Amino acid sequence: MWGGRFAAGPDAIMEAINASIGYDQRMAAQDIAGSRAHAAMLAATGVITDNDAEAIREGLLTVLSEIDNGTFQFSTALEDIHMNVEARLKDIIGEPAGRLHTGRSRNDQVATDFKLWVRDQLDAAEAGLLALIKALLAQAEAGADWVMPGFTHLQVAQPVTWGHHMMAYVEMFGRDLSRVRDARARMNESPLGAAALAGTSFPIDRDMTAAALGFDRPAANSLDAVSDRDFALEFLSAASICAVHLSRFAEELVIWSTAQFRFVTLSDRFSTGSSIMPQKKNPDAAELIRAKVGRIFGANTALMMVMKGLPLAYSKDMQEDKEQVFDAADNWMLALAAMEGMVKDMTANRDSLAAAAGSGFSTATDLADWMVRVLKVPFRDAHHVTGTLVAMAESRGCDLPDLSLENMQGVHAGITDDIFSVLGVENSVNSRMSHGGTAPAQVRQQIARWTEILKA
Ligand code: ARG
């Protein structure tokens, strides 16, 4: 492809390290879309004839159909998707194919193709996140007032509601959604026409190609346009944070589905059995989702390191961007879909949640708050008294509501019968009406807000 400059072909090892066709063929559709936009623009600006542009357009459509139906012969000698497509175009249409690369370089070409590919994946991630959020909202709606233990340090802390717990993940995935949308808005500038690095002397129309490819505008600086991989880094960063969120929820599902917790029952459709232990039902999907952050964040780290210290403008190092992004994207979309499926299918065991909600002295804070509110005791003193009562209940092997009024008055004389009204789990959650709190009325407001957001 480089004509006269070379007397000898590449060493086999050179070809092996150089070629990217093994993976960048995944960008064939984007490459052909970019070439069609470029050819149409070259004709509109009079750089090539309408006849040549028409031959190129027809030829590219033939190439695309060959790739789609699997008859296209990819060649390692032709390095990458760009040269594979162009060489085949030449086979099909002959001389006009040689005019397609006017005012363009593989440097702006690859940046354009890759951006289009990543943009599609951002759209897929948006759809996957929306579906997951909807599944969580349905769970939250069903159990807005189901009580369960809330944890800190994975120790029972205070009772919360199932709906509140589900809505916490809606907030996390909601931030992931906004990161995806931000990244898409920021990346949507066209590199096409930056050429090798300096722009071109041909009278090209970059606004035209940008519009044809759905970009908001051409990238402003040609050096930056061919060397920028921020869009891929942002994609991987957003994916990594989302994968962290997915892993946290997956971990909860793994714990919750154990015989010790029984908070949820995962569906057969998202569980597996054991080849030796007939009783087993394993949460493999949740475990694999938990693990995906490893490769996704690995890709993020890898590309950060590839880009670190690269001088302007294009360097071949940047060819190492694609496999990381492809793998991370595939696994991110799969993890989102698997999580959505699991959440849709899972059953929360209301009775187990309720039984656990009152365990571990979960209403001790309510007792202390009652003393502050009713007896006007300073919170620190109320905390101390309550701690003594918890120790008493623990030594008797009972829960706080099981202590007698006499026992409690032995620790603080001012305590009255009214105390039992706050020791119940339902009362506890109903009282947490502060903005964003766990009271079912608050949770329903959060659900309503998100339902509105999703409609918009
Ligand atoms: N396959 C290359 C890549 O992925 C395309 C750009 C090659 N440009 C160059 N000047 N060799 O980065």
What is the rounded CA–CA span in Å between residue 55 and residue 68?
Answer: 20
Residue range 28-49, pLDDT digits in tens: 999 999 999 999 999 999 999 9
Residue range 200-222, pLDDT digits in tens: 999 999 999 999 999 999 999 99
Cα–ligand 1 centroid distance for 81 (angstroms) = 10
Sequence letter at residue 272: T
> Residue 319's closest CA among 20, 73, 30, 7?
20
- The protein residue whose alpha carbon is closest to atom 12 in ligand 1 is 319
Helix axes 230-256, 322-345, angle to 10 degrees: 30
Cα–ligand 1 centroid distance for 187 (angstroms) = 20
Looking at the CA of residue 20, tell me the nearest atom of ligand 1: 1
Does 101 contact ligand 1 (Cβ within 6 A)? no
What is the rounded CA–CA span in Å between residue 66 and residue 85?
Answer: 10
Side-chain half-sphere exposure of 437, counting CA atoms within 13 A: 12
Count, residues in the chain? 456
Cα–ligand 1 centroid distance for 57 (angstroms) = 23
pLDDT at 405 over 70: yes
What is the rounded CA–CA span in Å between residue 345 and residue 248?
Answer: 19
Q: Kindly report the pTM of this predicted structure.
A: 0.95
Element (H, E) at 290: helix 284-307
Looking at the CA of residue 196, tell me the nearest atom of ligand 1: 10
CB of 254 within 8 A of CB of 287? yes
Map residue 151 onto helix, strand or coil.
strand
Residue range 240-275, pLDDT digits in tens: 999 999 999 999 999 999 999 999 999 999 888 888
Cα–ligand 1 centroid distance for 263 (angstroms) = 52
* Choice from 78, 106, 108 to test ligand 1 binding pocket (greatest atom count within 8 A of CB): 106
CB of 78 within 8 A of CB of 87? yes
CB of 113 within 8 A of CB of 37? no
The predicted structure's pLDDT at residue 1: 65
* CA distances in angstroms from 231 to 81, 126, 227, 236, 303, listed in the order given: 20, 16, 11, 9, 11
pLDDT at 317 over 70: yes
Bigger pLDDT: 4 or 281?
281
What is the rounded CA–CA span in Å between residue 194 and residue 207?
Answer: 12
CB of 191 within 8 A of CB of 108? yes
Map residue 148 onto helix, strand or coil.
strand
* CA distances in angstroms from 156 to 120, 150, 151, 355, listed in the order given: 43, 6, 5, 12
Map residue 391 onto helix, strand or coil.
helix
pLDDT at 14 over 90: yes
pLDDT at 3 over 80: no
pLDDT at 67 over 80: yes
Mean pLDDT across the chain, nearest whole number?
96
